[in-house]
Amino acid sequence: MQNSSKMTYPMVVMLTLGLMTVHPSRVLAEDIAFQDWTHQKFGIFGGNNWRQSGRTVSVESDGGVSLLWRPLPEKVWQSTKASWSWNVGTSVPPTDLSQKGGDDRNLSLYFIFAPQDLATRANDLGIRKLLGSPEIRVLMYVWGGSHDRNTILASPYLGARGKTIVLRQAGAGQHDEAIDLRSDLGRAYGSRDMMLIGLALSADSDDTETRIDARISDLRLSGYP
């Protein structure tokens, strides 16, 4: 009697080829935890009250500005997409995000890109040095301002290194977002071929001296080249 549990040669070949298509260095999906992100203030006083809790981070800002940031492991450097949920209970008023000073916003989510040679030594740099490097490129997805959705603005602080992409105008509410990082890199900088080496999250209410009560959750990186 023939053993029906025995694998035939064609079956072995098909299984082997199937396993070979899974490349360990390619990201399919990576959930990003809000844990041990570094708090960076921009002055001696002030700053925001951030609360990191697993898959959610919340912020209260009362006439302050500061950010959280973290470097990313090499396994996610080639991520192509991102998604998250965010909620604003108390909002700053609409502002002009293209102007330095007076450009308050509820939340900005930074995706920090670098060429390969800088990516390998980025962990040794603080966020100030990293954002000051002429080689980096930053996409800042923003909830705030008075601009139309998907408007791309030059950052008044980062110059050629940073672009603001408006997702939501100033105001309260809850929204889910899903973005194509590589497409937006191409629109903003004309090139998609950079490594995603870090993330940052800021809230800014110092210019208008108003308040922010907001949170972001379920941040995920996904896709592969």
Instruction: State pLDDT tens for residues 147-162.
Output: 999 999 999 999 999 9
Per-residue pLDDT reduced to its tens digit, 13-52? 444 444 444 454 565 899 999 999 999 987 665 689 999 9
List all residues 6 or more positions away from 129 whose beta carbon is below 8 Å from its beta carbon.
none
Domain 26-222 belongs in CATH node 2.60.120: yes
| Domain residue ranges in the chain | 26-222
What is the model's pLDDT at position 192? 87
- Average of pLDDT values for 186-197? 93
With b meaning 16 or more CB within 10 Å and e meaning fewer, what string describes 77-91? bbbbbbebebbbeeb
pTM of the predicted protein model: 0.86
pLDDT band per the 50, 70, 90 thresholds, residue 101:
confident
| 186: helix, strand or coil | helix
User: In the structure, what pLDDT confidence band is assigned to residue 7 with cuts at 50, 70 and 90?
Assistant: low
Q: What is the mean pLDDT of residues 196-208?
A: 95
Query: Tens of pLDDT along 67-96?
Result: 999 999 999 999 999 999 999 999 999 999
d(CA 10, CA 219): 42
How many whole angstroms separate alpha carbon 52 and alpha carbon 35?
6
The CA distance from 81 to 152, in Å, is 18
Check the CA dihedral 44-59-157-72 and report its sign: positive
Task: Of 5-19, 39-53, 177-191, give the range with the top mean pLDDT.
Answer: 177-191
Residue 12 pLDDT grade (very low, low, confident, very high; cuts 50, 70, 90): very low
pLDDT at 207: 92
